[in-house]
Amino acid sequence: MAGDEGTSELLLRRAYRLFNERRIDALLALMTEDVEWPNVAGGTVLHGREAIRPYWEGQFAAADPRVDPTEFRQVGDDLVAVVDQRVLDRQGRLLAADVVYHRYTFTLGRVSRMVVFTSPEEAFARG
């Protein structure tokens, strides 16, 4: 995706907005069929859009996560989003508030992989 940073950033800004609006179908349409997506709590990687749908449905039923990107940085062919993440329980109580780093890989203009990092050093490492 080298040279397409602006296009990729626009796609990700839209993706974060759709996530916060809980628009799963529109969000999944921004991904490749065989997308790799982290299940951070489960310590696994989900494969494919249809594996992600029930993961998000369960997440949204149990909690109220909100993710807001504050910066984007190109790292090789990937794009890293610096994200303010807040998770509330269903009663509106704060469960977690962190800065996390989402590193995205793109294939033909769609997200094909996302990895979550908690440290900028790991997120911005080349390789």
Residue ranges of domains in the chain: 5-123
pLDDT 10s digits, 60-118: 999 999 999 999 999 999 999 999 999 999 999 999 999 999 999 999 999 999 999 99
Q: Tell me which of 3.40.50.10090, 3.30.1600.10, 1.10.3720.10, 3.10.450.50 is the CATH number of domain 5-123.
A: 3.10.450.50
What's the pLDDT at 41?
86
Strand order in 110-117's β-sheet?
44-47, 31-39, 110-117, 94-107, 78-89, 63-75
Q: How many helices (H) and strands (E) does the chain have?
A: 4, 6
Nearest Cα to Cα of residue 10 among 92, 110, 87, 88: 110
pLDDT mean across residues, the chain: 95
pTM metric for this prediction: 0.93
What's the pLDDT at 4?
65
